[in-house]
Amino acid sequence: MSGLLRRCGRLGRSLYARIALVYLTSLLLLCVATAWIAISQFDQLGRELQQRLEVDLADNLARVMQPALRQGLDSPAARDMARHIVSINPSLSLYVLDEGGRVIADYAEPACGLGRRVDPQALETLLGDEPMLPVLALSPCGRQPGVFSVARLRLGEPDGAGGPPGYLYVDLDNASYASMVAMVRTSSILRTLVAAGLMALLVSGGFGLVWFALLTRRFSRLTAAVQRFADGDHGQRIATPGDDELGRLARAFNDMAGTIEAQLRALQETDHQRRELVANLSHDFRTPLTSLRGYAEQLLRAESVDEERRRMLTAILDNTDRLTRLAQQLSTLARLDAYDKPLRREPFSLAELAHDIVGKFQHQARQAGVSLTVDCDPALPRVDADLGLIDRVLSNLIDNALRATPAGGRVRIVAGTRPEGVRLAVIDGGVGIAEDELPLVTQRFYRTRASLVRGDGSGLGLSIVREICERHGAAWKIDSTPGEGTEVSVILPYA
């Protein structure tokens, strides 16, 4: 389930998903806009048809009502005639207007427009030659402009004499609305158009999604190739790039990948030569240094050596020891740099190793006037690691602790069990490490300010410890307080 959710999350963040979302959103908005325009135009079309079909209705009704209107606009005959017409077509509303468009007779039930005014310009427009339909006007009892029919008439007196001009105004808006509602409910053509629109929406949406999938598939292939290249598959290339922008991008990637691969091979060859040089130099240093140390020791044992020469020979021995340690550390670095060589893991007792290494450093500790002790239970569980490299870790930590601890101080090696493995710690009471130098002490050839003052160290001890722990996947930590001492701990897994 979690894998499916991750894939869905990646798909949701993909270029295809974004293009599809924009496309579907645009398509939906286009459909809504088209539907809105179509509905509004259908409404206008219904009004136009209604007005076109009944544009002469007011003229016909005026001829029918003219005799009754001559008896008076509010006469029983006029109202009976209007009532008879409305009973035949209840959707109509009849009004008599004066020349200025003011309602002077309202035959609607109930009467609501008496005294109100209709725009005379709209009346004259509809009465003109070939008017552009629909012509809309605000009816006396309406709230929105609607269609109508109008005819001129003479507002005669009962004796038949000609009177002032006026209009018979027939409100068709209710009839238009009724016909539009009926068309929406019962029109098979409208239903066919709606079904066709929905089908077009589904087809265009599906076609667009498929087309975008085909379009972005090459993007996906290119992205996957770049990701595999970034993950270390430097032989990754894009097969058969096209001639468009994506094809040019794929060819540029292939050229870049070829250049990077060639540079990586050159760097690997240079790095291999460097490791061989360091390994050979560290190995070749050992024989002359051992010979130099032997001759210096023989000269020191001679009885005729005066004090000045003894001091010089002692300095030679000290520098020989320093060069020997540096050669050993360079040899260890050369081995650590050879990542293609697997670790020689084996189960062993960390307590026994700690006692053995402490025994080798007891002479150095006595010369420095430092107490070197071990607090390890011989029954500690065995650990699984490269014995030679862990020997180097413990030796480097003890050597650093002895050099950082003044005479009269104490260095302790403590080991104990933890849920994740055996924890080994080297604790000294030396000068400590400043807080700003803690992130730097594991860099190669970095020497602390205290080390520079003492004039010893090569800056490789803790960097070797860090790299050995990283090769083993072991957790390690440095805790230090200036003036109080340093504790370096390593946790090795159980065998």
DSSP string, 9-68: HHHHTSHHHHHHHHHHHHHHHHHHHHHHHHHHHHHHHHHHHHHHHTTTHHHHHHHHHHHH
- Alpha carbon of residue 377 to chain centroid: 52
* C-beta separation of 417 from 376 below 8 A: no
Structure confidence by residue, pLDDT tens digits, 104-120: 888 877 778 788 888 88
Q: Which of 408, 453, 455 is nearest to 430 (CA)?
A: 408
Work out the mean pLDDT of the chain and round it to a whole number. 77
Of the ranges 152-161, 384-393, 436-445, which is most confident?
A: 384-393
Lowest mean pLDDT among 144-158, 227-241, 454-468: 454-468
| Of the candidates 414, 425, 422, the residue with the CA atom closest to the CA atom of residue 383 | 422
What is the pLDDT at residue 355? 87
pLDDT confidence band for 15 (50 / 70 / 90): low
Cα 14 from Cα 486, distance rounded (Å): 51
pLDDT digits (tens, 9 = 90+) for 259-310: 888 888 888 777 766 666 666 665 556 667 667 777 677 777 766 667 777 7
Q: What is the pLDDT of residue 334?
A: 62
pLDDT of residue 159: 45
CB atoms within 10 A of CB 33: 10
| Residue 279 confidence (pLDDT) | 60
Q: Which CATH number fits domain 343-492: 3.90.660.10, 3.30.565.10, 3.10.450.50, 1.10.1060.10?
A: 3.30.565.10
The residue among 306 and 469 whose pLDDT is bigger is 469
Geometric angle at alpha carbon 25, from 23 and 30, rounded to 5°:
95
pLDDT score, position 400: 80
pLDDT score, position 160:
43
Instruction: Kindly tell me if the per-residue pLDDT of 175 is higher than 60.
Output: no
Locate the domains of the chain by residue range. Answer: 2-40+199-221, 54-185, 234-341, 343-492
Homologous superfamily of the 54-185 domain (CATH): PAS domain (3.30.450.20)
pLDDT at 372 over 80: yes
Q: Tell me which CATH code domain 234-341 carries.
A: 1.10.287
